[in-house]
Structure 1
Amino acid sequence: MATVERPQLSDEVVAHLRDRIMSGQLRPGERIRLEDVAEQLGVSITPVREALLTLRGFDMVELQPRRGYVVAPLSRQDIVDVFEVQAHIAGELAARVAGRAGEAELAELAATHKGIQRAAQGRRVAELERGEFEFHRALNRIASARKLSWLLHAATRYTPARFLSSDPAWRNGMLADHEALLAALTAHDPRAAREAMARHFTDGADRIVKHLDGLGVWGGSAG
C-alpha cells in the first residue's frame, strides 16, 4: 500500500488508535506494532510513532522494555471517571452559555444542529462528527472560558468519536440532548443547560461501558 503524508496526520492516527482502544478492539496489555498500524492506514512510521507518544501522554499506551508500545490498563471505573469529568466541565460551560448567549449565537447553534440532524438521518458519520465538533466549539467560544474549554478538550481525547457516531441509539440520544440544550439556552436556564449537557456525556459513558462489558474487556490482558 502506498504511503501518504497529510498535515497533522499524527492526529488522525491518534483518533484511529483511540477509537480502537476505547471500543475494545485493542485490549489492555495488547501490543501495538508500528508497522502494522502504518500499513493499515497507508502512512509512514513517523506519524504512528508521534501518535503513540501523544497517547502515552494521556496514559492510553505504555512503552515496555522488549515489547514496545502496549495498551495501558483500563477499568470500568476509568471510563466512568473520564466521562464524569467531561460532563462536569461541559455542563459548567453550557450553564455559562445560558447566561450570555444572544439571538445571533443561538441561531448559529440551531443551524449547526440542523446540519447534524441531516447528517444523522443520512448516516453520514464523518459529517456528523464534524458537525458535533463545530457545535461544541461554538458553545465553548460563547462561554468565553478559555482554560475550562482547554480542559474539556483534553478530557475528550479519550472519547471514541467514530464508535459513538456509528451507533444509531447514540445518535438519537445526541439529537434529543441537543434539542433539550437549545431549549434551555433559549430560556436562559443555566440549570437545565447544565443537566442536558451532562446527560450528553454520561450517556456516552453508559454505552461504552455496556459495550466493553459485553466484550469481556475487563477479564484480562492480551498478548
Structure 2
Amino acid sequence: MRLVQNSLHAEVAAQLRDRIFAGELLPGSFLDEVHLAEQMEISRTPLREALKVLTAEGLVRHEPRRGCFVNEVTEQDLDQIFPVIALLEGECAREAAAQATDADLEALEALHDKLQRHAKARRINDYYAANFTIHEAIIALAGNPWLAQVIGDLRKIVKLARLQQLHAPGRLDQSLSEHMAVFAALKARDPEGAEAAMRTHLTRQRGALRELARNQKSRLAP
C-alpha cells in the first residue's frame, strides 16, 4: 500500500499502531525495517521516525545493535499501570461531576441506557464499544487535556496485553453495576463519590484481568 508523500511518519506510526493492536505484529516480534519499508512503499526515514513515536508511547522497544521489537506487557506492568489509570480517571470523574451540565448528563444517560441494553443481551463487543465511549465522554467532561493525554498513552500499553476482562466469570454484570455507580455519583454532582466509584471500577477491572490471565495459564499448563 502506497502512502501519500505528505503523510510522513505520523501516518506510518498510525498504520503500525493499528497492526500491533490487531495482533498482526505480535508482542515480542522483531520489526524488520527493510521489510516494512518495502511493504509500505516508503523510505526508511519516515519509518524510523514512526518507530521513535511508538517507542515513546511504549508500544515498541529499541534494543541497541538489535533494532526494534513490539513491546510485551507483563503482569507486573499491569499491576503498576492500573493504579495510575485508576488515579487519573478517578480525577477525571471528580472534575466531570463538578462541571457537567444537565445536557451533558442527558447525553451520558443515553450512553448508559445503551450500555445496559448490550449487557442484558450479552453483546460483549458492543458493550466494549459503549464502555469506551463512556470513559472517553467522562474524560472529555473533565476538560483537562493533560489527563486525557496521559490516560490515552497508558491505555495503549494496556491494550498490548490483548486480554478481554469481560470474559472473566460474572465480570459483565459487575462492570455494569460499577458504571451505574459512577453515573449515579455524576448525576448527584458528587465529585468525591464519582472519583471513588471510578477508582473502584478500574481496580476491579485489573482484578478481572488477573483472574483471566490465571485461567488462561491453567488451561495451557500440561
TM superposition score normalised by structure 2? 0.70
Greater mean alpha carbon deviation, residues 68-77 or residues 55-64: 68-77
Q: Tell me: CA distance 1:115–1:12, structure 2 relative to 1, closer, same or farther (3 Å).
A: farther
Q: 1:195 is matched with which residue?
A: 196
Higher relative contact order structure (alpha carbons within 8 Å, sequence separation ≥ 6):
1
Deviations 1:131-163 (Å, cap 9, x if unpaired)?
Answer: 233212221222222222222222222232963
Please, what is the CA RMSD of the aligned residues? 3.8
Unaligned runs of 5+ residues in structure 1 are 217-223
Q: Tell me: CA distance 1:200–1:34, structure 2 relative to 1, closer, same or farther (3 Å).
A: farther
- Number of positions where the alignment pairs a residue of Structure 1 with one of Structure 2: 203
Query: Which residues in structure 2 correspond to 1:101-180 (within 5 Å)?
Result: 101-120=100-119, 121-123=121-123, 125=125, 127-160=126-159, 163-164=163-164, 167=167, 169-180=170-181
Give yes or no for contact 1:87–1:201 (8 Å, CA) kept in 2: yes
Q: Tell me: CA distance 1:163–1:213, structure 2 relative to 1, closer, same or farther (3 Å).
A: closer
Give the fraction of aligned pairs with identical amino acids, expressed as a percent. 26
Rounded to whole Å, the distance in 1 between the matches of 2:129 and 2:83 is: 23
Q: Larger Cα Rg: Structure 1 or Structure 2?
A: 2
Q: 1:206 is matched with which residue?
A: 207
Rounded to whole Å, the distance in 2 between the matches of 1:56 and 1:11 is: 13
Deviations 1:137-194 (Å, cap 9, x if unpaired)?
Answer: 2212222222222222222222329632662644333211110011111122222211
Amino acid at match of 1:187: A
Shift of residue 45, structure 1, vs aligned partner: 7.2
Q: 2:75 is matched with which residue?
A: 76
Amino acid at match of 2:173: N
Q: 1:219 is matched with which residue?
A: none
Give yes or no for contact 1:61–1:70 (8 Å, CA) kept in 2: yes
Shift of residue 87, structure 1, vs aligned partner: 0.4
Shift of residue 124, structure 1, vs aligned partner: 5.4
Q: Tell me: CA distance 1:152–1:75, structure 2 relative to 1, closer, same or farther (3 Å).
A: same
